[in-house]
Amino acid sequence: MRLLILGGTEFVGRAVAEAALARGAEVTVFHRGRHEPPAGVRTLTGDRTVPPSEGLAALADGEWDVVVDTWSSSPSAVRDAARLLADRAGRYVYVSSRSVYAWPPKAGLGEDGPLAEGDPDAGEVPYAQAKRGGELAALDAFGPDRSLFVRAGLIVGPYENVGRLPWWLGRIARGGPVLAPGPRTLPLQYIDVRDLAAWTLDAAGAALSGPYNLVSPPGHTTMGDLLDACVQVTGSDAELRWTDPETILAAGVEPWSDLPVWIPPGELYDAMHTADVSKAVASGLRCRPVRETVADTWAWLESIGGAAPQRPDRPSLGLAAEREAALLAS
């Protein structure tokens, strides 16, 4: 496979690049040169935030079997790249998001659910519209038979630069009493970035097209299993203090941002942790155990000194230590 990754140096793009290299693919990464690309790739540099005549100049020549695009901002950047490559690439894989579904998405929603508005010619727009606009841009250039939309949900694993699982690992590694948001048996739905990468390459090789929800099956793990795994792999003396959602919410703690990953039962939980992924599972999606994801993420964090990289376009996550201490004391 001759693979072009638009990105390829961070989190999802890097995981796809490494997985493709391990399979013997010929991998080219197009990026801005801000991060070191994986060893073994061919590198092209450019900037999709400037006019395409300048920013995409490095892509003027070359042919590829598959393009993988992880862009999360202006849909017009997807439009410009897809149009440029439409006659020189076989398929376009756009790593989209389950955020493209119209709000609020009902529990158990499949790929046929109602969608948010999107404009392939738009500039900076909110995340949901950006991802839907990106889908439409890819569809316009490559058509329905040559475009694949990976509608991911919560993505975790090594190289995470958003700060969800790394925050929990760092907090639990410090030890002591830890505010653990209940219920302990709350089912979680996420995707390990390496499982996303493997499925994406398989799907591209099998010439799949159209949208696929890509997260683990509902109930793949629980909040308790996740935090227990964090305690085990860090070897800390952390004591998980399980606290009911009502108490946490009454204290003004924000789900998802103050306590990453966690969302109490309700509308937002249904949207994030109950997707129908039967289509992806039927096409070969396999999800590794939660302990493996947690252990490998911890090993990666230790290898880089413990501090995870942080995307500049995303806010820092996690409950401040003094607020957690006050809640535990009360």
Can you give the pLDDT at residue 288?
Answer: 98
Distance CA(104)–CA(271), nearest Å, equals: 7
Q: pLDDT tens digits for 239-286?
A: 999 999 999 999 999 999 999 999 999 999 999 999 999 999 999 999
- Give a three-class secondary structure readout of the chain: CEEEEECCCCHHHHHHHHHHHHCCCEEEEEECCCCCCCCCCEEEECCCCCCHHHHCHHHCCCCEEEEEECCCCCHHHHHHHHHHHCCCEEEEEEEEEHHHECCCCCCCCCCCCCECCCCCCCCCCCHHHHHHHHHHHHHHHHCCCCEEEEEECCEECCCCCCCCHHHHHHHHHHCCEEEEECCCCCEECCEEHHHHHHHHHHHHHCCCCEEEEECCCCCCEEHHHHHHHHHHHHCCCCEEEEECHHHHHHCCCCECCCECCCCCCCHHHHHHHCCCCHHHHHCCCCCCCHHHHHHHHHHHHHHCCCCCCCCCCCCCCCCCHHHHHHHHHC
Mean pLDDT of the chain: 96
pTM above 0.85, yes or no: yes
Residue 308 scores a pLDDT above 90: no
Fold of the domain built from segment(s) 158-189+217-275+288-329 = UDP-galactose 4-epimerase; domain 1 (3.90.25)
Q: What percent of the chain stands above pLDDT 70?
A: 100
Can you give the pLDDT at residue 68?
Answer: 98
Q: pLDDT tens digits for 13-52?
A: 999 999 999 999 999 999 999 999 999 999 999 999 999 9
Q: Which of 76, 83, 85, 80 is nearest to 130 (CA)?
A: 76
Q: pLDDT tens digits for 168-183?
A: 999 999 999 999 999 9
Q: Which of 53, 4, 66, 41 is nearest to 209 (CA)?
A: 66
Residue 330 scores a pLDDT above 90: no
Q: What's the whole-number mean pLDDT along residues 75-81?
A: 98
Can you give the pLDDT at residue 65?
Answer: 98
Residue 311 scores a pLDDT above 90: no
Q: pLDDT tens digits for 43-70?
A: 999 999 999 999 999 999 999 999 999 9
List of residues 6+ apart from 312 with CB closer than 8 A: none
Distance CA(215)–CA(154), nearest Å, equals: 7
The structural domains of the chain, with segments of one domain joined by +, span 2-152, 158-189+217-275+288-329
Q: What's the pLDDT band for 71 if we cut at 50, 70, 90?
A: very high
Q: Does domain 2-152 have CATH number 1.10.3370.10?
A: no
Can you give the pLDDT at residue 246?
Answer: 96
Can you give the pLDDT at residue 76?
Answer: 98
Residue 225 scores a pLDDT above 90: yes
Q: What's the pLDDT band for 314 if we cut at 50, 70, 90?
A: confident
